[in-house]
Structure 1
Amino acid sequence: MATGQAPFNPVPAMRTYPPVEHPVVVIGPQYLAQYPVELAVNSDFKVSDINGTLIFQANSKLLSLHNRRFLKDAAGNTLVNLRQKLRTMHGRWEAFRGESKEKNDLLFTAKKPKLFQFKTELDVFLGNNKGEDPDFKVKEGYSQSSCSIFLGDSNTMLAQVHGRHTLAIMPNVDYAFIVALVVVILDEINADDDGDAILEGFVDGIASGVIPSA
């Protein structure tokens, strides 16, 4: 029986994450903001803010034993150099301050938690962390090109990567550190894409008879 009142339609609950209690500083306190920071990454890995102002840029150099990348500020000063040890089983990355390679300038390391994994996940350890518990974790989201960065094993989110091109960073989080970590994340995602392409080509080759199945 109609009452003349509109039916009650519940509004879906929004998932919230606890705010960062203490500032997260890895590269420097000058990269802290008291507000959420949104950055865009283009195909040349130039990082800009919502007004299109260049904030960071990255370039790479492939060496015999290391895949090396440099994160620079808008003026071209090197903030971090990241070195991937190509012959390690977990794809380990090391990030050093400036262009240094000295252990006392090690900012953080990142590696896959498992030898074989189907999602983009990374454990991140600060340079002075000699234990087994990571300081930060990267977890893949609803798609391979999206992921979230958390404080340790907590549900305190520091940043999100959307579609490889957009970064949303929480207040009081070192956004230069997040961008340096995203260099590693995107490298891992691109490497997975290359592996998928090789696998797809192999399967297509079998299906077409170009590659014998046995």
Structure 2
Amino acid sequence: MEQATEVAAEAHHANWVISPNYCAPHPVELTIVRKAMTITHGNFDITGIDGNIVFKVRAPFAIFHNPGNVLLDAAGNPILTLRPKLSSIFHRKWKVFKGDSTDSANLLFSAKLSSTFQFKTTVDVFLANNTREDVCDFKVKQSFWQRSCVVYAGNSSTAVAQMHKKQSLFGKEKFMVTVNPNIDYAFIAAVIVILCEINFSNRSTPSPAS
């Protein structure tokens, strides 16, 4: 009973969105590689510091109908489904669902491009229970030329993860991500993937979001 209480307390202390299983008591280093030279979205491999696959992102949907991504674990099991909102021009708003579902009952969080100003991009993230969306639960701020970004807790200055983009080589883009202790790294991986897809969709149209 005492051990169960300790586990519950630890899970409560960790800031998890997807599962406490993706929270570690130490920083987690991830490498996200995206194939840039492809007409489809969703080709990402995410590895740990040892080089082993942690997550994969694939796009099972028809290209010209409703593109989206599925975040898979190393064994190929679906963890999250990431879908751009159809009415959102250039994929500026995304909804993320548990597993391979797109049912509103399984909505975990949404993310939307809130501003692009002077080469800086901001994405606001709202958890499913934040239905009013007056204040974001997490905020992603991307710096000059998309070379780095920081994920913050709400509108605070508390960083929960940092990303640095490495030089693109051989048609691939590489992103190095450091996730702070007790932060859900599956959630952070999904947020970075959405940011990459927003950037990809807006490269030819860099106008600010309305």
User: TM-score under structure 1 normalisation?
Assistant: 0.75
User: Is the 1:72–1:80 contact (alpha carbons within 8 Å) kept by the matching residues of 2?
Assistant: yes
The structure richer in strand per residue is 2
For residue 25 of structure 1, the aligned residue among 11, 16, 19 is 16
**Per the alignment, do residues 62 and 121 of structure 1 end up closer, same or farther by CA in structure 2, a change over 3 Å counting?**
farther
Partner of 1:5: none
Task: Tell me what 2:68 maps to.
Answer: 68
One-letter identity of the residue aligned with 1:24: N
Q: CA RMSD in A?
A: 2.0
CA shift digits 1:163-204 (9 cap, x unpaired): 0511110000000000111110111122233436xxxxxxxx
Unpaired segments of 5 or more residues in structure 1?
1-20, 197-214
Q: Report the counterpart of residue 126 of structure 1 in structure 2.
A: 127
1:97 is aligned to 98
User: What amino acid maps onto 2:131 in structure 1?
Assistant: K
Corresponding residue for 1:108? Answer: 109
Residue 139 (structure 1) aligned to one of 135, 141, 164: 141
**CA pair 166-79 structure 1, distance change in 2 beyond 3 A:** same
Deviations 1:22-70 (A, max 9, x none): 4211100000000001011123411111111110000113455532100
Match of 1:154 among 150, 153, 156: 156
Instruction: Give the match for residue 50 of structure 1.
Output: 49
* Counterpart amino acid of residue 55 in structure 1: V
Give 2:31's aligned residue. 40
1:77 aligned to 2:77? yes
For residues 65-101 of structure 1, give each alpha carbon's deviation from its aligned partner in whole angstroms, at most 9, with x where no partner exists.
Answer: 5321000000000000000024325721000000111
TM-superposed CA distance for 1:141, in Å, is 2.5
SS at match of 1:154: coil
Higher Rg of the two aligned structures? 1
- Asked if the contact 1:67–1:85 (Cα under 8 Å) also holds between the matched residues in 2, the reply is no
Q: Output the amino acid matched with 1:162.
A: H
Identity of aligned residues (%): 38
Match of residue 180, structure 2, among 157, 170, 177: 170
Aligned residues: 175
> Conserved in 2, the CA contact under 8 Å of 1:67 and 1:84?
yes
Structure 1: distance between partners of 2:113 and 2:129 = 19
**Alignment CA distance shift 1:86-1:102 (3 Å):** closer
Is 2:120–2:144's contact at 8 Å kept on the other side of the alignment? no
- Taking the aligned partners of 2:55 and 2:24, their CA distance within structure 1 comes to 16
The residue type paired with residue 161 of structure 1 is M
SS of the residue corresponding to residue 114 of structure 2 reads coil
What CA distance in whole angstroms lies between the structure 2 residues aligned with 1:40 and 1:173? 16
Q: TM-score, normalised by structure 2?
A: 0.77
Rounded Cα–Cα distance in structure 2 between residues aligned with 1:104 and 1:82: 15
- Give the conservation status (yes or no) of the 8 Å contact 1:95–1:106: yes
Q: Which amino acid aligns with 1:135?
A: D
AA in 2 matched with 1:125: F
Change beyond 3 A, Cα 1:65–1:121 = farther
